[in-house]
Amino acid sequence: MKNYKIDSLRLESGEQLDNVNIAYQTFGKMNADRSNIVWVFHAISGDTNVLEWWSTFFGVGKLYDPTKHFIICANCIGSPYGSTRPENLDFLRFTVRDQVQAFLQLAESLDIQTIHTLIGGSFGGYQALEFAYGFSGKVSHMILLASSAKESAWGIAIHEAQRMAIRADATFGTQHGGQEGLKAARAVAMLTYRTSEKLDQDQTDNLNQVGDYRASSYINYQGQKFSERFDALSLYYLTWCIDTHQIGRNRGSEIMALQSIHIPTLVIGFKSDLLVPIKSQRYLAQHLPQAELVEVDSIYGHDGFFMEEAKLSHKITKFYRDQKKTLAQREILCRSQKINTQIPI
């Protein structure tokens, strides 16, 4: 893991976050013209090791292969996985845009001016969209999965329910405190990440059972497992950060902001997504000037962007192939027009 230091990060609130560390990992090597850079943005509980948590797409022989691509993934401020994080409730609140400003500075420090693909799912998609708006270099492709132009009232309400669960734990607010509240918060979240159909399919009990239900054990297990690898303060601050997502804030409107992002974009939505419903992806595709929408049937709901390897790999591969074909046709047209203008009348 590598670290990028920022002496002082000016936040949207006008306050300054000092001595900021951004942890990041890179996989593979940049090619000579730096045209093989893939920047990945992680979801709320992710870390920098994208080869591990998104092995669906990333790894040797996968869609994004470190023997062919230069892959970079930076850890969000607030996360317990290497970047600057809260240790008490005196930590400054930060927005998605603040996160991305730190990543833009990281890109500049690495002299990254051309990016092959920006990709992220859920909160990662929020960051990718903000990065696309703020990046001064060239981005050839963007892939947004289960994402939106702004966080919905529904999403904010779900996050507040999680924060209420965390605050109900008397130990919350101290370093490593709030673990019981964190378990409950994760349980709330799990009910929005998957579908009722998937839970019914996997966790239904036998006909004569009373008590000791599989669904109860499952949701407790998920809370316990999460509490062993995450932190209550981190989740508290990161859910608030996600609530701030609004691509149009102080930019005229959402539509104006989206229409200024001229990047060939694949927007992928899941019809069964309860957390970020398919209408949010339809809105993105409607207003991003060069967007294509793919709607996926999935029993997994919001977690489809982790689980649906076969369906998504096919759609993304087709997107790249179509973009390559479109670029080739444009080059032929440009050459043709140049020749025609040189013919004397």
What does the alpha-carbon distance between residue 344 and residue 191 come to, in Å, rounded to a whole number?
70
Q: Contact at 8 Å (CB) between 260 and 132?
A: no
What does the alpha-carbon distance between residue 74 and residue 299 come to, in Å, rounded to a whole number?
30
What does the alpha-carbon distance between residue 28 and residue 53 come to, in Å, rounded to a whole number?
17
What does the alpha-carbon distance between residue 162 and residue 339 come to, in Å, rounded to a whole number?
63
Q: Which residues of 295-324 are buried (b: 16+ CB within 10 A; e: fewer)?
A: ebebbbbbbbbbbbeebbeebbeebbeebe
* Token output for 83: 């970047």
DSSP string, 36-50: -EEEEE--TT--S-H
DSSP string, 117-176: EEEEETHHHHHHHHHHHH--SEEEEEEEES--SB--HHHHHHHHHHHHHHHTSTTTTSTT
70: which residues sit within 8 A by CB, 6+ positions away?
26, 27, 28, 29, 30, 31, 34, 36, 37, 38
Q: Contact at 8 Å (CB) between 43 and 306?
A: no
What does the alpha-carbon distance between residue 202 and residue 204 come to, in Å, rounded to a whole number?
6
The catalytic site residues sit at: 122, 273, 302
* Token output for 39: 């920047």
Q: Contact at 8 Å (CB) between 207 and 44?
A: no
What does the alpha-carbon distance between residue 339 and residue 333 come to, in Å, rounded to a whole number?
10
Q: Contact at 8 Å (CB) between 278 and 305?
A: no
What does the alpha-carbon distance between residue 129 and residue 254 come to, in Å, rounded to a whole number?
12
